[in-house]
A and B are shown apart, each in its own frame.
Chain A
Amino acid sequence: MKKVLALASAVSAAALALTAPVGEAKAQSTELTLCWAAWDPANALVELSKDFTAQSGIGMKFEFVPWPNFADRMLNELNSGGKLCDLMIGDSQWIGGGAENGHYVKLNDFFDREGISMDDFAPATVYAYSTWPKGEPNYYALPAMGDANAWFYRKDWFARADLQSEFKAKYGRDLAPPKTQLELKDVAEFFQGREIDGQKRYGAAIFTERGSEGITMGATGALYAWGFKYENTPGKYDMEGAVNSADAVAALEYYKELYKCCTPPGYTDSYMQESLDAFKSGQVAMAMNWFAFFPGLHKDEQVGGDKIGFFVNPGQKVEASTLGGQGISVVSYSDKQEEALQYIKWFAQPDVQKKWWALGGYSCHVAVLNDPSFKESQPFAADFLLAMDGVQDFWQEPAYAELLLAMQKRLHDYIVADQGTAQEALDKLIEDWTETFEDEGKL
């Protein structure tokens, strides 16, 4: 009897082994894989995409990679011509490489054929997420997720009468969300080391991460506010006097002062998650992070609701914010480009975009952004509009990774490792970037 059972088990296992690949292959033929970063909006997209599957019968699979490894993992995938991803929500800076290296499908003909107009999306997002060369009407992505770096703060602490009066006595103004970068530093200094409810608190959680893009994304928030430009003449790569201008030096010195004076101890390699942790654990009065996290923060039981407030990145000489966000592209190595284009067509519909916003994604569609009720729909919605009016992005060149890592090194050396001056850091940055552009044949 035992022999019969063993034989039966073996036959069943063999049958399963033989039929499984067939079943799998059948499922894969009607399944798209979408690649993105692993964060809150990705969960919202999973929810949203169920509607697409219901309508089209095409299944959706997702490949989400945590932010610190996202660029490494996905750029390796694209550079090796991998077929893992049919749809890619790639970072805005990848658009140049995606277009020039042939990773992304050009979407102009598809948009024309399907009547998808880029006028239906916010101009800043089309420029940043879709076009290459910049501003030219060559589209390689549909704006998918608008984002910018902004701030949130402990509204309940700011509202305390004792702190209000102490702050007013010291600075001569109300304790309120800062309007300038220098005001922000005042507020951070005010909270640094202060005991609130029996615990020691700190001023601000800012980005200082070394490995991927953190410190660049944080420091550019200050640089842009001082009017930082990458070139004197757009497209000419003439960086001398722009990248290392007196204002740029002042902005960088300011960011270092903010780091030195007002961050929690051990805050030397911190990015999105560390900022969220510092705020949620009640360590800091203010924190910078991407708008993408704001819906989750607002819902947080400990620090959300009435306890949290939001404000756009304060200006100094100009109003400006660091751009985040991504467009959605069809990967040229995919065998399911037609199905992937169907997804983009579906995603571009105003109703879908409205639901996207409702679920926690940041739509770039004017039907959503221009809706009279938009500003009131979330406590951070008005700030989002304000931020998107003044966003600036890093280089979007094909060599962006090289350019970014050079900036990471120079900024971290100066701000965290205390080496050299701001002027020297920016001068060296120009040397690095010049070498890269010479290699690229652009100088």
Chain B
Amino acid sequence: MTETSPIQRVADSVALSTPPRMAGQIRGLSDRAIAWLFVTPTILLLLAINIFPLVWTIYLSFTNYKANRLNREVKWIGLKNYERVLTDSDIWHTLQVTAHFVCWTMFFQVILGFGLAWLINKQFRGHSFWTTLILLPMMLSPAVVGNFWTFLYQPQIGLFNYVVGFFAGVDPSSFQMIGEVNLAPWAIIIVDTWMWTPYVMLICLAGLRSIPDYIYEAAEVDRASKWRQFWSITVPMVLPFLMLAVLFRVIENFKMFDLVVELTSGGPGSVTELASINLKREAFEKWRTGYSSAFAIILFVTVFGVANIYVKALNKVKQR
């Protein structure tokens, strides 16, 4: 007599309790039909929470709809919202601010992330401890990070100003990182770099650890210099990982909201008003639903298009 597992026993009891007629119907289904049976709920869920809102947003972008004016007549206004968005100098300003933020954060995070990964990969004594320590910022909530960096940047009591003042020999209260037009864009870049460099480091570290030792050993046999090994082995083999990290970070930073709102609320003036902050204000503070839908669609198409081109480039790099 063979012993059956508890799961098997449950399955048997369910099979036995299924009415013969229903059991016959299920047995009559093809594999394809059974596959559809399992996949359909997920597809319906995706349609409900992803596809329907997208289609509805596209529809709203062609109307004058305002979500706070439910008793107002909704009019079809064609491409007017798109025309307004694309000719609005404030929108272009927020896109410039976003581009500045994305480019510089990527630049610093790639350099520092790769550098840290390279150092950590050296397997020195205590490297596990340092790895954990370096990873801490990315484990924090962006709202918390934004809040405590506002204190660090405080001109009178902030540690950041004190340290800069100490080394630069200037009065710590003589500059305001989040209050001055020239410094505020850099203030948000510093915080984002501090928080997300560990993420880039982690992915680069995975790339570095995936390089087999024998490749370096073969290079040593061929008497390749360390510099040559770095450029001909390390960089090409880590590049797909690095590009993947950049893809994730660019998409995330393009829609950056919480951290910057906590730090500057988009100010002073509008110098740190990223596209997502502007979009939120248009949609949920000014309640220009049609207009903000058009802006959201434009942003979506932009990110989607850029990401697609980038993924194709990534695939080419991987195939090399």
Contacts and interface: CB of A to CB of B under 8 A. Distances in A.
Q: Do A and B belong to a common assembly?
A: yes
Interface of A: 72, 75-76, 79, 97, 100-102, 209-211, 264-269, 398, 401-402, 405, 409, 412-414, 416-419, 439
Contacts of A409: 90, 269-270
Interface stretch (B68-76, B103-111, B247-255): B68-76
Contact of A416 (B154, B155, B267, B284): B267
Contacts of A418: 181, 269
Given A101-B71, A401-B285, A405-B285, A265 B264 contact: no
Nearest to B269: A417
Given A101-B70, A264-B156, A265-B176, A417 B285 contact: no
Q: Is the interface of B mostly helix, strand, loop or mixed?
A: loop
Contacts of A100: 71
A76 B285 CA distance: 9
Contacts of B310: none
A409 B70 CA distance: 27
A417 B270 contact: yes
A79 B67 contact: yes
Interface string B277-290: 00001001111100
Given A405-B285, A417-B271, A269 B68 contact: no
B265 A266 contact: no
Given A266-B155, A419-B181, A405 B286 contact: yes
B68 A211 contact: no
Contact of B265 (A79, A211, A264): A211
Contacts of A412: 267-270
B156 A210 contact: no
B100 to A, nearest CB: 15
Interface residues of B, number: 32
A158 B67 CA distance: 52
B238 interface: no
Contact of B179 (A72, A102, A269): A269
Contacts of A209: 265
B286 A210 contact: no
Residue of A209, A264, A416 with highest tally of chain B CB at under 10 A: A416
A266 B154 contact: yes
Contacts of A102: 71
Interface string B207-245: 000000000000000000000000000000000000000
A413 B270 contact: yes
Nearest to B90: A409
A265 B264 CA distance: 15
B146 interface: no
Given A97-B68, A264-B156, A269 B173 contact: no
The 8 closest A-B pairs by CB, nearest first: A417-B269, A268-B179, A413-B269, A210-B267, A266-B155, A265-B155, A402-B286, A211-B265
B178 interface: yes
A210 B262 CA distance: 12
B266 A210 contact: yes
B197 interface: no
B85 to A, nearest CB: 13
B98 interface: no
Contacts of A402: 286-288
Contacts of A398: 69
Contacts of B71: 100-102
A267 B173 CA distance: 11
Given A269-B179, A405-B281, A412-B268, 19 more contacts: A72-B285, A76-B284, A79-B67, A101-B68, A210-B268, A211-B266, A266-B154, A266-B156, A268-B268, A269-B264, A269-B267, A401-B287, A405-B285, A409-B269, A412-B267, A414-B269, A416-B179, A418-B181, A419-B181
Contacts of B181: 417-419
Nearest to B154: A266
Interface in B20-38: none
A394 to B, nearest CB: 15
Given A101-B71, A210-B267, A269-B264, A401 B286 contact: yes
Contacts of A75: 68
B214 to A, nearest CB: 57
A265 B173 contact: yes
Most buried by B among A402, A419, A439: A402
B103 to A, nearest CB: 21
A163 to B, nearest CB: 23
6 contacts: A211-B261, A265-B176, A266-B155, A269-B178, A412-B270, A439-B288
Contact of B176 (A97, A101, A268): A268
